[in-house]
Amino acid sequence: MSDQPLTVLSEEEGMFRDAVRSFAKEQIAPYAGEMDKAMKIRPEILDGCFELGLMGIEIPERFGGSDSTFFNSILAIEALAEADASVSVMVDVQNTLVINALLNWGNEAQQERYLTRLAKDWVGAYALSEPSSGSDAFALKTRAEDKGDHFVLNGTKLWITNGMEASVFVLMATVDPSLGYRGITSFLVEKDFEGFGIGAKEDKLGIRASSTTELILEDCIVPKENVLGEVGKGYKVAIETLNEGRIGIGAQMIGVAQGAFDHAMAYLRERKQFNTRLCDFQGVQFQFADLATQIEAARLLVYNAARLRQANRPFLKEAAMAKLFSSIMAERVTSQCVEFLGGVGYSKEFPVEKYYRDAKIGQIYEGTSNLQRLTIAKQLLKHYGD
What pLDDT was estimated at residue 339? Answer: 97
Active site residue 366: yes
Q: How many beta carbons lie within 10 A of that of residue 272, not counting itself?
A: 11
What pLDDT was estimated at residue 18? Answer: 97
List 13, 78, 130, 366, catalytic entry? 366
70 touches 310 (CB < 8 A) = yes
Q: How many beta carbons lie within 10 A of that of residue 332, not counting itself?
A: 15
Q: Is the pTM of this model over 0.75?
A: yes
What pLDDT was estimated at residue 3? Answer: 53
What pLDDT was estimated at residue 6? Answer: 45
CA distance 108 to 228: 11
The contacts of residue 142 (CB under 8 Å, 6+ apart) are: 130, 153, 154, 155, 156, 157, 171, 172, 173, 174, 217
Kindly list the structural domains of the chain, giving each domain's residue range(s) and its CATH number in brackets, ordered by start: 6-122 (1.10.540.10), 125-232 (2.40.110.10), 236-383 (1.20.140.10)
What pLDDT was estimated at residue 132? Answer: 83
* Sign of the torsion angle spanned by Cα atoms 226, 141, 244, 205: positive
Spell out the per-residue pLDDT of the chain, length 386, in tens. 455 544 579 999 999 999 999 999 999 999 999 999 999 999 999 999 999 999 999 999 999 999 999 999 999 999 999 999 999 999 999 999 999 999 999 999 999 999 999 999 999 999 999 998 877 777 899 999 999 999 999 999 999 999 999 999 999 999 998 998 899 999 999 999 999 999 999 999 999 999 999 999 999 999 999 999 999 999 999 999 999 999 999 999 999 999 999 999 999 999 999 999 999 999 999 999 999 999 999 999 999 999 999 999 999 999 999 999 999 999 999 999 999 999 999 999 899 999 999 999 999 999 999 999 999 999 999 999 98
What pLDDT was estimated at residue 139? Answer: 83
* Sign of the torsion angle spanned by Cα atoms 217, 146, 221, 115: positive
